[in-house]
A = this chain, B = another copy of it.
Amino acid sequence: MTLAPSDTALVPFVSVDHMMRLVHHVGLRPMLRGLAEYIEQDFRRWELFDKTPRVASHSAQGVIELMPTSDGEVYGFKYVNGHPKNTREGLQTVTAFGLLADVGTGYPVLLSEMTVLTALRTAATSAMVARQLAPATDTMAMIGNGAQSEFQALAMAELCGISKVRLYDIDPAATEKAMRNLAGTGIEAVACRSSEEAMIGAGIVTTCTADKQYATILTDNMVGAGVHLNAIGGDCPGKTELHPGILDRADVFVEYTPQTRIEGEIQQKPEDFAVTEMWEVLTGAKPGRTSDRQITLFDGVGFAIEDFSALRYVRDALPGTGLGQMLDMLADPDDPRDLFGMVMRAA
């Protein structure tokens, strides 16, 4: 009898360090492309998924959420917190980890950090959507230059042919950081002094600001015909970025309507405000962009299926890389009824 855990009892774990190594092993742009492919695959088989709303535990300081989903063969969930005040204490506003399990046995098959991975999947989702909806353009305005901004720029470059990014943030230090990070990526970055200036010539306008409030980052008269708005910073109740007038002039595309009505820009609108779910565009059930003058708006809030796709990608990318660490996470007695004997023999 061996006391070493058996293979079935070990769960591969991808640490933050290993996730970063995986990014460099695959390459950031190819990894964003790969993630977008996995997300698109899962959006195309949308109806197959068990779509539970996220389970939130709210406190005065923030929120902790569990986001589970399943395609009937694989189960996944993400743990994610949102604590806006954390930044003031030198901590991340959002940290996350996730897990995949085999539906057939209930055994976990992957545990992974998801702070880095969520940043990647959020950018990959935006670019996957923009590839469907945006006009032909080489320029993106990036309003809000926080932790997500460079990932957005790279994903839009990789999937939508963006070569110029016009940056604006109310904090010039954030813009300077993004300028530094984008130097050498092959993307031409321009620091702008206002949102209006950032939007000059941009076919894609990404808003990703952090303040939890009903903010108006874009007013109605700023948005010209034909652009694609990628609004990803309005992502929880009480947090929006766009003037409601923009929503009336745009065709609005969402991930999962019940969640977006609570968390997205459309929380400013009545329950029957018309939206199209992106999976319907991808399967051809509904049209995407239909004219050059149309304003398309992706009201992105982040949905569990995107995390599921990202974890699937990591699971498939891991073999042969030497990355991932085996965790002895599951008890596996020789006789499943003899847990007590296993514990006692460990003495």
Contacts and interface: CB of A to CB of B under 8 A. Distances in A.
Contacts of A24: 346-347
Contacts of A150: 340
Interface in A169-210: 174, 177, 180-181
A287 interface: no
A95 B17 contact: no
B116 A339 contact: yes
Copies of this chain, complex-wide, total: 2
A165 to B, nearest CB: 13
Interface string A145-171: 011111100000000000000000000
B91 A105 contact: yes
Contact of A20 (B13, B62, B346): B346
A225 interface: no
Interface string A98-127: 010101111110000101100100000000
A110 to B, nearest CB: 13
Nearest to A89: B105
Contacts of A337: 87, 146-147, 174, 177
A91 B15 contact: no
A150 B329 CA distance: 22
Given A66-B77, A181-B340, A17 B346 contact: yes
Interface stretch (A78-86, A271-279, A288-296, A312-320): A78-86
Interface hub of A16, A101, A119, A344 (most chain B Cβ within 10 A)? A16
A335 B240 CA distance: 25
A273 to B, nearest CB: 28
Contacts of A343: 20, 23, 28, 116
24 contacts: A8-B91, A9-B16, A15-B327, A16-B329, A17-B328, A21-B346, A23-B343, A50-B57, A57-B75, A63-B106, A77-B79, A82-B106, A89-B105, A92-B333, A97-B329, A113-B330, A115-B330, A116-B331, A116-B339, A119-B339, A148-B339, A149-B340, A181-B338, A181-B340
Report, nearest first, the 6 A-B pairs whose CB atoms are least far apart: A81-B106, A115-B331, A20-B346, A150-B340, A15-B328, A147-B339
